[in-house]
Structure 1
């Protein structure tokens, strides 16, 4: 397979950067984050996605007020890069009329394709209502997050959460504290009717520890006491969580009730012109149909509202060339943060390094992931990776999934070849 690779500058030398900022503050409209290419604003779309016209407006705003670069984050949020203080104020003013298309407040991740009226949908609605209580919301850490995972087609297992509800059986949901599904601590199980009460009690217990406390800070005995008092159906236990029946990847995806065209910008980043082109193609193909674009975990963009024939037309359209549309694309084997120069903490250009790995065929042949992080924050860290390459002022440190050192290297290519026997390639 031939993969189109965007031309990028050389990854450059490794130079000292500012100390990484704590991953805590959320770059909202009123509190943008300073990065290497200006300010960054993050917008969380409505759970059902955004109408194509609103996505087009986002692209226009990114070009008019930023540097034209947008990202889909690992949680499925839209990020606009390259803003200034003045242009952020202008963007905030212009977007005010469509703010009802976005979610604000506590981060709550869930499967947007779950059936209306299901236990999962009811849990999400109840927790969203509960989380808006100012007495609780104002006492939780800035990036406090909850995941409600129905075990469906959107893989939320790798998404970090302070409190996680995970479907375990027809009438039981597992409660997991901190980290991702695998590394978090399994507290026990509740029936769906008690799910919101359990989450509320645990959030309150975490808030009592302090304003920066997270799920990992709550002791299991204290968590069990809080949950037992709030949820009569709570029972401790550590039964295995069921495997997911299917997971959405890129391409033509058929669900029980709808079909999707699923695309992904390489490494989560795209130019506004590429996004505009795909919206133009959707309008050309769909005509007067009401089309929505739903961004989800895994940096995926799912186009909703097209029939199967139109999906095939879109995925093979010239406008789709700037996106990943096939599940054998080698770029899917790379998890990379924004890197230098987009991030002022990064010690190397992660995207240029990723492209070099693709061009030279230096990726694992077993489907595992290579993680590239410009600095020690590891903002794009996946649940698992064959090797983690972390930028330092004087090169790259390589680690395995357990944090054991695999050596220090000058180039990402050398690190991959030296640490992964399954990585082939050309010299």
Structure 2
């Protein structure tokens, strides 16, 4: 890391702890990068994405040890597959950065570019997203590094294959159409993003540069949704004639053993709610190393993949992972709960999200048939989940329940703090009592609507 970057870290740390800049960094839309850590309820938070989302086991082990030495020993993997280290102090952020350098981990500057976690090893992949990321960062370096880009600007490169990224929303999407061509689209996921250009890699990189130029011109904080359609069409006059080749929807879940088309196996694991202790992680990594795994890939869905783990060693790894609070089996209820850091870890949160999540899993099994996501948000910022869900937002008065909405939406029901367990049990019971034959929990909730849910919660 350069001296200039180290200076930025030191200054950012001081400001986050003591100055007005720290308050600004807590807003929704701020990004706690290594050079600009975020002040939270348990110290400073750093979010980073290693190049390609890939680490050797030794590198991940080094990160875990550094998190324990310089933070509070808590690591998290976000919904988009990025890594967070918690509990840092102003004077230890630079030490973490030095450890990252010493481990040979490259953390590119600028917005994270998220690529398919099986890049380069999945024989079903249409094109190489890692090569595209390299081309983007090399050719568009000045634009990507521009301070006028929004801190949370999102760029996704989807090469296709067994683990696609169609569910990830992004400001800019670059999607493989074949082994020669790419599609560039903006503002959405695999279904909703608007295509603006298609062609070989050079044309795709050029199109991304045009979009970034528009965003830089709009000013700091602007996202793809803010680009004026007329200006967009002026830059991309052929936008209405783009031939889209949709990717086959990838169905590979994160957790569990997966066999690729060439017979190789990978093991996906998911820490409970994406959070793990450094000591548990190092123990699991040591075991994986002893069993022959060679690397890990961070993955969307708050987990990671062990690469090159022999299939006959997987059962032992799955048993060991469970002991450390890390699921290596598909179908866990926690997969369907999105939680933010919660009170104690975030100064904005009004309740302990993980504690409530565990109570809900035990008391309301009817909610967990995999048809819906339960979003527990400590405040109205909704950091953990950006899509409509069954949402509980914390407030000074208790909880706001939103049916199929976002944390900041107008609540369908307000629940006093002491009544939350009763309310969730009533909601689950109402779903059980009202579900038709073969009907999912999500479909039942949609049919009941806000009125039906409110009526169920008012019953004593």
TM-score by length of 1: 0.84
Deviations 1:10-37 (A, max 9, x none): xxxxxxxx99932333223332111001
Taking a change above 3 Å as real, the CA distance of residues 174 and 134 of structure 1, as seen in their structure-2 partners, is: closer
2:283 is matched with which residue: 272, 277, 280?
277
Structure 2 residues not aligned, in runs of 5+: 1-22, 434-440, 442-459
**Which residue does 1:104 correspond to in 2?**
109
1:191 counterpart = 2:194: no
The SS at the match of 2:170 is: coil
Distance 1:266 1:61 in 2: 21
* Pairwise CA distance, 1:46: 2.6
CA distance in 1, matches of 2:357, 2:288: 29
Pairing 1:309-324 to 2, within 5 Å after superposition: 309-317=312-320, 320-324=323-327
Which whole-Å CA distance do the structure 1 matches of 2:368 and 2:149 have between them?
43
**Which residue is equivalent to 2:377?**
373
SS state at 1:340 partner: coil
* Contact 2:195/2:239 (<8 A) preserved: no
1:365: Cα distance to partner? Answer: 4.1
Give SS of 2:135's match.
helix
Asked if 2 retains the 8 angstrom alpha-carbon contact of 1:335 and 1:372, the reply is yes
Q: How has the CA–CA distance of structure 1 residues 123 and 59 changed in structure 2, closer, same or farther, with 3 Å as cutoff? A: closer
Residue 406 of structure 1: aligned partner: 412
RMSD: 3.0
| Residue pair 1:174, 1:186 contacting (<8 A) in 2 also | no
Closer, same or farther: CA 94–392 of 1 in aligned 2, 3 Å:
same
Please give the residue correspondences for 1:47-66 in structure 2 after superposition, counting only pairs within 5 Å.
Answer: 47=52, 49-66=54-71
> How far 1:69 moved relative to its partner?
0.9
Deviations 1:159-198 (A, max 9, x none): 342112334678765543224445x552445124422121
Q: Does the alignment pair 1:203 with 2:201?
A: no
Equivalent in the alignment of 1:392: 395
Q: Which moved more, 1:142-151 or 1:374-383?
A: 142-151
Query: Take 1:92 and 1:293, find their aligned partners in 2: how far apart are those partners?
Result: 20
Q: What is the aligned residue count?
A: 400
Is contact 1:362–1:413 with CA below 8 Å preserved after alignment? no
CA contact (8 A) 2:399 2:420 kept: yes
Question: In 1, Cα distance between the equivalents of 2:321 and 2:234?
Answer: 58
SS in 2 for 1:262: strand
* Cα contact 2:257–2:265 (8 A) shared by 1: yes
Q: Could you say if the C-alpha distance between residues 407 and 76 of structure 1 is closer, same or farther in structure 2, counting changes exceeding 3 Å? A: same
Kindly tell me: are residues 339 and 346 of structure 1, through their superposed partners in 2, closer, same or farther at Cα, counting changes over 3 Å?
same
Task: Give the 5 Å matches for 1:74-89.
Answer: 74-89=79-94
Question: How big is the shift at 1:356?
Answer: 0.3
Q: 1:122 to 1:292 in 2, by over 3 A?
A: closer
Q: Distance in 1 between matches of 2:206 and 2:432?
A: 48
> Structure 1 416/174 Cα, relative in aligned 2: closer, same or farther at 3 Å?
farther
Instruction: Tell me which residue corresponds to 1:344.
Output: 347
Which residue does 1:307 correspond to in 2? 310
Of 135, 141, 163, 1:132 maps to 141
**What's 2:252 paired with?**
247
Structure 1 or 2: larger helix share?
2
Q: 5 Å matches for 1:215-226?
A: 215-226=224-235
CA separation of 1:176 and 1:392: change in aligned 2, threshold 3 A: farther
CA contact (8 A) 1:175 1:188 kept: yes
1:153–1:414 distance in 2 versus 1, CA, 3 Å: farther
Q: Which of 295, 298, 303 is the matching residue for 2:301?
A: 298
| Offset of residue 254 of structure 1 | 1.3
Q: Which runs of 5+ in 1 are unaligned?
A: 1-17
- Measure, in 1, the Cα distance between the counterparts of 2:43 and 2:360: 28
Residue aligning to 1:93: 98
Of 252-261 and 160-169, the range deviating more from structure 2: 160-169
